[in-house]
Every structure is written in C-alpha cells, then in structure tokens.
Amino acid sequence: MNILLIDPFHGAAGDMLIGSLLDLGADEGLVRAAMRSVVGEPTIERTDRSGIRAVRVRAHAPVHRRTLEEVLERVAASSAPAPAIEMARRVFHRIHRAEESVHGGAAHFHEVGADDAVADVVGACTALHSLHVDGVAVLPIALGRGTAVGSHGTVPVPAPATVAILKDSNLQTTPGTEERELCTPTGAALLAEFATIPADGIGPAVIRAIGYGAGSMNPPGVPNVLRTLLLEVDAASRHDRVDILETSVDDVTGEVISYTIARLMEEGARDASAIPAVMKKGRSGHLVRVVCRPETTAHLAGVLARELGTLGIRCIPTVHRFLVRRTVEPITVTIRGRRFTVDVKCAWSGERIVSLKAEFDQVRACAGELGLPFREVAGIVEEAARTIFRGRGVLEE
C-alpha cells in the first residue's frame, strides 16, 4: 500500500500543499491544466526556504470574491478529473459550514472565496488524485498564534474559520512557535478532507519519495515549507496493529455488559471481553477490554462511555498483533440423510493446518434443524474436515 503522510510542521496553505505534492511526483501537466481552467496559467518553480529546496506555486488570480454557488460553478466547470472536482466541492462545503458557524447564516466567503483559493483547492485535489495513494495521514498541524488582519478586521490566530474547520475533523494541532498565521482556512479544509487514516496507525513503512512545498514568505531561520512523504506499507501489516481500550466498572449489571460487548462488535471492534475483577474497597467489578483498529478507537471509546457510563477509558495505542494465517474452507457433510455445507476456519503454520473450527452460527442452524446437540454436529463437521485435509496432506496431527 502507498500511504501519503503530510507533515504540516510549519502550517499549511493550498499553494504549499500543491507544491509539496508536485515535488513528491504528482502529475504537473494535469495540475497545470486544472488550475489554468479556473484562473489562468500558474507559475510553478523551484525556490529555497532556509536551505531547503521546495516547489513554489502561484495562481496569479485577480482579487475577486465569490459566493459558495459561484465557487461551486467554477469548480464544476474546471478541467480537473471528476473525482478531484467532487473532492474540491466537499472542501468548499467544509469551509462554508465553518464560515456559517462563525458568522451565522448570511456568511460570505471573503479570502477563501477568491479565485486564487479556488485554483489552489482544485489544483491540490487534482494533485492528490494523480498520485493514486491508498490512504492519507496528517501529522499535527502548526497553527501559529497572535493576531492577523483580514476582511473582518483584526482576528485571532488561528483564524475563527480555521478553528471551526479543524474542530469538525479528527486532526491534531500544535500552536507552533511563530506569532502569525501558519495554517489558513483553505489549508485546514484540504487537510481535513484528505485525511483518511490516523498517522499513528500507519506502522512500519519505507519512505519512497519526499516533497516540499514553499510558502509565500521566507522568514529567516525557519524553513517555511510543507513536507509530504510517500510511504510504502505492507498491506497485511496494517491489519496487525491494533489499539486496546480498557475501563473498569463496578456499578453495571451483567446484562448491560453483555449488551455493550454486542454493541462494540457490531460497531467494528475486533474483540471485546469482560474480565471479573476485585476493585477498590473490595467491590466486585469487571475490566472491560476492547481490541480495535486504530481508526475506530475514538468511536468505540464513545460507545463504551455511553453504554457503561464510565468516566475514564484507557487507550493502549498501536499494539503489534501477530496473526496466524487463516482460511475458511467449506465442508459438505451428510447428517441423518440431509446434506449441509458448513464453513470451517483453518489456522495455518507454513503449509500445514494446525487447528480448525466449524463456524458457530452455521453449526447452530444445522443443530436446530436436526434437533441434535450442538457439540455433536460440530464434531461431525470438524471430523469430516480433518479427513479431507489428511487426504490432501496438509493437516498437522
């Protein structure tokens, strides 16, 4: 799998993101054509930011404010690929929702509705589309601090729209060290839309390419660039990394715990269990433990909090899990003159099956139809599977 890792250690803006993705290997011809169709031919050149060579992109757009409807019309009429156009539309809807949350229902676009912002969003979405990555992760975003002057006068940094956009994302932020705006609303909206996986859930990876996109300013002593990395991740290894959630409860019934475990499994947990425990003051309780994929951690923590009323949930992040190779083999058996096909889960070590187990729900259904004990039906299916696998020479006795 190819994963794009975005490192906005010095903030983010649309032009910086385009430049970084072009430096990483995005299709320059495709990006130029998309931006040209919105505002005209962009300038794309190499420059220096505190000793780091980076790509600088300028849209050369006139200062012209547009409404959301006008912006979406320009996006739809661009020559960008259809997936990039749809992504750009979502980016501007993010910005518009943020503006409305800050200014009310009569919000206007201002800076992010200018033609250069339209070109930046279309160009950045086209650049990402051309890379054909399997996922995007974003490291903590430097925001800056202090105040800045905009269409509404002097506003705090980060700008209210930037804060509103990031509030509705799962992205992490850091204030940064500079007294100025480092992350623009356009940059925040692009990063929020691009991100598909948490950065701490990537696992071991090989760096295949690095890109640097230059910002418009060149302050001394700090590289004003946005960095991107193209990572190669083993597809199987991503599924070998899990988070573990734990919470201790002593004031809920067994029925509530049972229901909660079922809900957790329905919502995507890899496993969930309740372990009897002796808690403070000798009270009997349970340790509820959930194994989950990193991208579902926040959601499942919410399920635990709502269902159990717990006030604290511990998270042990990114635990490596060794997985035995597993296959599911359909096994056909005849029981009391009736034929059934039941899936059997097989665990492999090298080229041999080391354990097997009939699928619970299917065995239960057969046992119910036949009026036989569950264990008897499971035993028949599993013995039939062992006979077949012995004949193939793959069963380890």
For residue 335, the domain's CATH number is 3.10.20.300
Q: How far is CA 85 from CA 74, 75, 77, 88, 124, in A?
A: 10, 6, 9, 5, 11
d(CA 262, CA 251): 19
The per-residue b/e assignment along 290-317, b for 16 or more CB within 10 angstroms, e otherwise, is bbbbbbbbeebbebbeebbebeebebee
Q: Residue 180 domain-assigned?
A: yes
| Other Cβ atoms closer than 10 A to 351 | 8
Domain's final residue, options 180, 214, 237:
237
Q: Does position 111 have pLDDT exceeding 60, yes or no? A: no
> Are 136 and 58 found together in one domain?
yes
In eight-state DSSP terms, residue 395 is B
Residue 357's pLDDT band (cuts 50, 70, 90): very high
> Are 228 and 254 found together in one domain?
no
Digit-coded pLDDT (tens) for 223-270: 999 999 999 987 655 556 788 999 999 989 999 999 999 999 999 999
Domain's final residue, options 300, 320, 340:
320
> Are 176 and 32 found together in one domain?
yes
d(CA 146, CA 231): 35
d(CA 240, CA 153): 51
> Are 191 and 250 found together in one domain?
no
CB distance 342 to 330 below 8 Å: yes
Number of helices (H), then strands (E), in the chain: 12, 17
Closest CA to 247 of 295, 319, 296, 315: 315
Q: With the CA atoms of 56, 61, 66 and 68 taken in that order, what torsion angle do they form, in degrees rounded to the nearest 10?
A: -40
Residue 268 belongs to a domain with what CATH number? 3.30.70.1380
Domain's final residue, options 274, 300, 320:
320
Question: pTM for this one?
Answer: 0.65
**Which of 14-18, 251-255, 392-396 is least confident?**
392-396
Closest CA to 127 of 43, 27, 45, 34: 27
Q: Does position 325 have pLDDT exceeding 90, yes or no? A: no
Domain count, the chain: 3
d(CA 283, CA 279): 5
Residue 201's pLDDT band (cuts 50, 70, 90): confident
d(CA 90, CA 94): 6
Task: Answer with the residue of higher pLDDT: 176 or 9.
Answer: 9
pLDDT at 320: 64
Q: Does position 35 have pLDDT exceeding 90, yes or no? A: yes
Q: Residue 116 domain-assigned?
A: yes
> Are 247 and 133 found together in one domain?
no
Digit-coded pLDDT (tens) for 151-170: 667 889 898 999 999 998 88
In eight-state DSSP terms, residue 181 is B
Q: Residue 397 domain-assigned?
A: no
Task: Answer with the residue of higher pLDDT: 166 or 348.
Answer: 166
Question: Which domain range does residue 159 map to?
Answer: 2-237
In eight-state DSSP terms, residue 9 is B
> Are 249 and 341 found together in one domain?
no
